[in-house]
Amino acid sequence: MSAIDQIFADLKSQQRKAFMPFITAGDPDLEFTGEVIKELARRGCSLCELGIPYSDPIADGPVIQASYTRALQQQVRLSQIFEKTTQWTAEVEMPLITMVSYAIIYRQGLEQYVHQAREAGIAGAIVPDLLVDEADELAEICRREDFSLIQLVTPTTPRDRAVKIAQSSSGFLYYVSVTGITGERQELPAQLTDDVGWLKEQTDLPICIGFGISQPEHVQLLGSVADGIIVGSAIVRRFADLAKHSRPEVLDSIGEFVHSLLAALNPSAE
């Protein structure tokens, strides 16, 4: 059982849902990334999605694109991220997952990337640009290494293809709540809960919903059908506040916002 499998098994036994924030590694530097990870773990987050900065965003909206740009301007390298992650994962129990382009994995070498990530204590990878038709080799390496390969299903994914994606994934399945790019939204599609309900009947994997989630009301609505909630842009935009506010202030702002979402997702835990 992988670290991610164990987290979801524990949460299920406690009748709780997973809360997974997204942050960018190295925004504005790796030292602050480490501080934020510790704060997120202290606040009670189940897992943390760590974005590997990439110059050619795939489905990232302007907030996350800007975050990647800030990190790349500091010349953050993958080797540096893995080195720091080794320290962070030794200090927190919350599993870390990379959100990483397949281009980066391919350039490193599939086995090399998985090996380095595991050595750094990382529990899995979300690979948004990996086509399910081309996922077999990486999926096999991940299964062998007990490293979760999380793939994405969107509202426009044909149902037969969604089942195929679920079959080649491990850890959990990432359900994209809206078509288009990441970013905060006031409203989510009315059909979303029905679509996720159908998908849950097709797989034993936990299903986590991301994209567009920015308010406690969203979390309450989707928590009724999802096994976990992923929030990115609504958290990442607070990193831009470092231009005007101190690091302790921004850290507290992130922590308080995450606390409000956690309270909406698992009110009995308060």
Identify the pLDDT of residue 254: 96
Dihedrals φ, ψ of 186, to 5°?
-80, -35
> Of the residues 49, 91, 217, 227, which is catalytic?
49
Alpha-carbon distance 86 to 190, whole Å?
41
| Count of structural domains within the chain | 1
> Of the residues 31, 35, 56, 60, which is catalytic?
60
Residue 248 has a CB neighbour count (10 Å cut-off) of 9
Contact 166, 205 (CB under 8 A): yes
Q: What CATH number does the domain containing 54 carry?
A: 3.20.20.70
**How large is the average pLDDT for residues 111-131?**
96
Domain span holding position 106: 3-269
| 60 tagged catalytic | yes
pLDDT at 192 over 50: yes
Single pTM value for the model: 0.91
| pLDDT tens readout for residues 6-60 | 999 999 999 999 999 999 999 999 999 999 999 999 999 999 999 999 887 665 6
Q: Confidence class of residue 63 from pLDDT cuts 50, 70 and 90? A: confident
| pLDDT tens readout for residues 25-38 | 999 999 999 999 99
Alpha-carbon distance 221 to 212, whole Å?
13
Please give the C-alpha separations between residue 172 and each of 43, 115, 149, 204, 226, in angstroms, as whole numbers: 22, 20, 8, 9, 11
